[in-house]
Structure 1
Amino acid sequence: MNKKSIIFITCISLLTSACGNKNKTNKIEKNAEKIQEANLDENKSGKYLVSNMNDETSINFVKSTIEKHLNKKNGEVFASLVSDYNKSIPKELLSGDFREPPKEDKLDKILEMRSSIKHTYPDTNCRINSLLLLKDNLSLKEDIPIDDEILFMDKEALKSSNLFKGDELEKFYKLFSRVKTSSSKDPKVHAKVMEKFLSKFNFPKDVSMLSVIINDKLDGDYLFIGHVGVLFPLDDGYLFLEKISFEEPYQAIKFLDKKSCFKYLKNKFKDYTDPEVCPPFIMENDKYVEI
């Protein structure tokens, strides 16, 4: 089995509208937001509320949140990608309103349905969607070399989607490049390496890029961003936007605080227990998150 196949299998195993009267629509949206806020307030146990943005209210809420902090056009493109993924998938398989995570795993049914329908956009992953949201609010302080060895699937999707052009593509490959590191298994040692690398980027002030860093030893000692999403502040907590993998649906998740989001990401990679490498760790922009 070649190296790319190994990386592919590893990543897969890890990462698992209508128009109406304006006043009426605004009233419905405000009422829905109040209900969502009440639900979030009741959810004091450290859990979270999740939506696949599969209705007009939830996607508009997400779009308005994005537009408060980032480029409005990018938020609209993101919403188009979400809607394109969600269309033709039965309502019962994808949530609209924010609710506690479903107890029943519907992923197999979702993937089967997704593969059977035609869609405008090719499947995209966490890295592509994160840069889509951040690209106009993220810049490089200095030039850095590109190591895109692990981005072969991203490349194929980017060629098909035409989402990024020129400097944007270059920014993508630089931000998600592999980073040379040591043979240590201590997250704090590797975190210093990633802090130095990511400090070469200017990140938005109010919005955070949350990354799960993976230690790779297939052909040397490297670090790379294995999963990533964007965290937005809300009046009563935080909103995290992510695309788990190419095939899986989009998620908008409400947390009461940042720590709850960090725990969610850590738990996502709890089964990654390769004794030969450093365990996955989390970065908020260019800072190590210790949990």
Structure 2
Amino acid sequence: MKNNLKKLCLLSLCLLVATGCSIGNKEVGSARKQGQSSNLSESKSDQAKGMKVSYTNISDKSSRDLLANLFDQAGISKERQKVFFNHLDQFNSSVDSKSLAGNFEEAGVQDTKYDPYDMQDQWKAKNNDFEGYNCRITSYGLFGDYMKASQAKTGDDTENLGIDLLSLTTDNSAVKTEEDKNIFKSIFNEVKTIDTKDIKKHYQIFKKEWEARGVKFAKNDKASMVSVVFHSQIEKGQDSLFIGHVGIMLKANDGVYFVEKVAFQEPYRLNKFKNKEELKKYLMEKYDVEYDQPTAKPFVLENDKLM
């Protein structure tokens, strides 16, 4: 029990540094803010520095209508859309509207209009101890009809999903049934890997494990799940891969859109890009931020393929 608790605490600390999607507390904002003036900001993706992103927090009617239309074109069911927009309304009504972008705005990848500390407190004041919804819960809620798993290897060792599963005990509207929850765990539970910086080796290990779990994606020409996979090394010889951030890419005539929940207690975003190469560039600038790390850099998947 003590070893499991230690592992969870260490993993949570790792997740705080790596990505805000995985856990919602004040340290998320702290880690991100400190990263702008510390080694965390020294991204190894030099080509991505200085990128500007067009985004909205979907807090006005025009952006909401645009997203609903994109969902319709992508075959996202009305039921799943309703759950998403209910969660969106719950979040946006819990925080200061001045901190949210209505119409599309342009900003640097790491720039925000809000203070994560303030947003944390605003959410807590309205929702008590409920952590809310993060990137994985949001993505499964939207794209669950196009993701399957055999559940053959679903186990109880899901420390990296601890807060996700805790939140789902309060509100399971995005992951409704036990079958859904088992598929969710099969897709997002960590994958044991080896101590190497070779992305191709990590990807092959990750892909093989997903195949063993029966993870499959149905064909959808207008939408796909885009994931950022991180290499974690809690202790030497205890290496794992986990989806630290994920969202849904929506294809349109004017480019591609990426809808994401930044973190449990940070906003929803709809980002607009010319193509998926720009989307990958955005994700790498945002999450490939660890300086001189002993682990491999993150890699990006479109469904189950390297992007």
**Separation (CA, whole Å) in 1 of partners of 2:16 and 2:273:** 25
- 1:138 corresponds to 2:144: no
3-state DSSP of counterpart to 1:278: coil
Alignment partner, residue 244 of structure 1? 262
Picking from 88, 100, 121, the partner of 1:112 is 121
Residue 14 of structure 1 aligns to which amino acid in structure 2?
A
Picking from 49, 53, 56, the partner of 2:54 is 49
Picking from 132, 155, 163, the partner of 1:153 is 163
TM-score (norm 2): 0.78
Picking from 206, 226, 229, the partner of 1:210 is 226
**Separation (CA, whole Å) in 1 of partners of 2:92 and 2:264:** 13
Deviation at 1:191, TM superposition (A): 1.2
Shift in alpha-carbon separation, 1:104–1:228, aligned structure 2, 3 A: closer
Q: Is there any run of 5+ residues in structure 1 with no aligned partner, and where?
A: 17-44
Aligned length, in residue pairs: 261
Shift in alpha-carbon separation, 1:274–1:81, aligned structure 2, 3 A: farther
Alignment partner, residue 21 of structure 1? none
Contact 2:233/2:295 (CA < 8 Å) preserved in 1?
yes
Residue 76 of structure 1 aligns to which amino acid in structure 2?
K
**Separation (CA, whole Å) in 1 of partners of 2:94 and 2:169:** 25
Moved over 6 A (4+): none
Picking from 222, 226, 234, the partner of 2:240 is 222
Deviation at 1:281, TM superposition (A): 1.1
Structure ID, larger Rg: 1
**Separation (CA, whole Å) in 2 of partners of 1:128 and 1:274:** 31
**Separation (CA, whole Å) in 1 of partners of 2:133 and 2:96:** 20
**Separation (CA, whole Å) in 1 of partners of 2:90 and 2:291:** 35
**Separation (CA, whole Å) in 2 of partners of 1:90 and 1:149:** 33
Picking from 175, 182, 185, the partner of 1:170 is 182
Alignment partner, residue 259 of structure 1? 277
Shift in alpha-carbon separation, 1:285–1:94, aligned structure 2, 3 A: same
**Separation (CA, whole Å) in 2 of partners of 1:118 and 1:192:** 41
Q: Is there any run of 5+ residues in structure 2 with no aligned partner, and where?
A: 21-49
Q: What percentage of aligned pairs have identical amino acids?
A: 28
**Separation (CA, whole Å) in 1 of partners of 2:226 and 2:107:** 20
Deviation at 1:142, TM superposition (A): 7.4
TM-score (norm 1): 0.82
Deviation at 1:10, TM superposition (A): 2.4
Picking from 6, 15, 18, the partner of 2:19 is 15
Q: Identify which range, 183-192 or 60-69, moves more after superposition.
A: 60-69
